[in-house]
Amino acid sequence: MGKFGFFRNGDDAPDQPRGMKRPKIGIALGSGVARGWAHLGVLKRLNELGYEPDIVAGTSMGALVGGCYAAGTLSQLETYALSLTRRKVFGLLDLTLGGSGLIAGTKLTELLNQHLGDLNIENLEKEFIGIATELATGHEIWLRQGPLVEAMQASYALPGIFKPVSVGGIWLMDGALVNPIPVSVCRAMGARLVIAVNLNTDAFGAGTVIQNTGFNGEDNSDVSTSNGGHSIAATIRRRIFGRSDTTDPGISDVMMAAFNVVQDRLARSRLAGDPPDVMIAPRASHIGIFDFDKAKESIELGRDAVDKALPYLEEAVELLKEHA
């Protein structure tokens, strides 16, 4: 294990426990921006069915939801997610013209700190690993100790959108750049049964589709104007997120479309080399990158996906019990 309490991919991990009555379950929560609310539905439905994960590995939005699950605050996160409106979502996006990201992220960090405080990963109710990418080397970093909120920030620090996060003096960014669906992490940490949640499985051909952010004057009437013209802040936001009255993509649309193409190809490659035992695949490609206000729909998609995968999950668990 490296200093500052994180593993680099390839470091020694705990041995696989033997003689289990029930196979040790690991769940790999993939990246997916606003589609990540589907993880809420997946985790709650698995718990209802008696397949509660023992190990939680998350990348990007998967790290945020997975971290809350491991901390025992999933219900609070769901309540907050369901309360989001389009106005509230954009109210959290504190734009900045300086630094290395379009969004400062201060408001989101304050919100996470309010609910998670000074929780450390090693003190969580479940084993949790957040996946990040080391900026200087491109190495895959497994965050297993230290402040939970800091690990979440590092894992979802999407290049160009959020600035990198310094953890122990090392700059980290979005883990989706190296491991979008961290199946390999669950296996390395001792899981006998690995469930993967892929939020982009039905996104084939969607890489060139620009998701309309719905950003317009009505959604941002609180932005100050003068002489009938929009403020500088409003103009910048429209430039970044695009407009609802034009087909022209904004900067974030182009960045995310390009990122999704790279992420999709990487996820396919990694899953082919180390496939999960069970794949849960919410059909969420129609959820836009900033559609955080569609939590109810996303959560239901997650629940439905678990039910569809249930026969395969039951079969896998029984098989592993026989060979425990």
Mean residue pLDDT of the chain comes to 82
Per-residue pLDDT, averaged over 289-310, amounts to: 95
What pLDDT sits at residue 260?
A: 76
- pLDDT tens digits, residue range 33-55? 899 999 999 999 999 999 999 99
Range in 2-11, 128-137, 162-171 the model is least confident about:
2-11
pLDDT at 206: 47
CA distance 133 to 184: 15
> What pLDDT is stored for residue 59 in this prediction?
97
Question: 120 versus 258: which is more confidently predicted?
Answer: 120
Task: Give me the active site residues, please.
Answer: 60, 174
> Structure pTM?
0.82
pLDDT band at 75 (very low <50, low <70, confident <90, very high): very high
| pLDDT for residue 214 | 45
Distances (CA, A) of 127 to 68, 138, 148, 189, 286: 12, 25, 12, 9, 32
Q: Which of the residue ranges 82-91, 225-234, 288-297 would you say has the lowest mean pLDDT?
A: 225-234
Residue 203 has pLDDT above 80, yes or no: no
Summarize pLDDT for 131-156 with one digit per residue, the tens: 999 999 999 999 999 999 999 999 99
pLDDT above 90 for 21: no
Note the pLDDT tens digit of each residue in 224-280: 334 444 565 565 566 555 555 556 666 666 766 777 777 788 888 898 989 999 999
Q: Is the pLDDT of residue 194 over 80?
A: yes
25 Rama class: left (phi>0) / alpha (psi -120 to 50) / beta: beta
Res. 318: pLDDT tops 70: yes
